[in-house]
């Protein structure tokens, strides 16, 4: 039956129209150092934001970093993220 006291956890993510950094480098070649540094900066800010809320991504790699059409990096694949206090 239905248990109104049960809790369900779920993650909702926005749809991002863009390309991941792995595909971008495969298509265009190496990134300019300023561009790469900007993407790293954005990724670090996103990871810090998640970490402040008790989440650790655990699978950062170029194909989990999506570049949208405005030049913003979005972190993908929180599927194996660990939340503080959970093993």
CB neighbour list of residue 54: distance below 8 Å, 6 or more residues apart: 83, 84, 85
Catalytic pick among 17, 20, 59, 77:
59
DSSP secondary structure string for all residues of 9-44: ---------EEEHHHHHHHH-SPPHHHHHHHHHHHH
State which H helix or E strand residue 70 sits in. none
Whether 59 sits among the annotated catalytic residues: the reply is: yes
Distance CA 54, CA 75 (A): 16
Active-site positions? 59
């Amino acid at each position: 039956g239905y248990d109104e006291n049960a809790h369900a956890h779920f993650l909702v993510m926005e749809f991002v129209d863009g390309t991941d950094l792995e595909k971008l480098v495969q298509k265009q070649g190496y990134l300019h150092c300023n561009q790469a540094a900007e993407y790293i900066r954005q990724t670090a800010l996103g990871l810090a934001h998640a970490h402040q809320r008790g989440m650790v991504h655990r699978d950062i790699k170029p194909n989990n970093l999506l570049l949208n059409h405005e030049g913003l990096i979005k972190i993908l694949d929180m599927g194996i993220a660990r939340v503080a206090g959970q093993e």
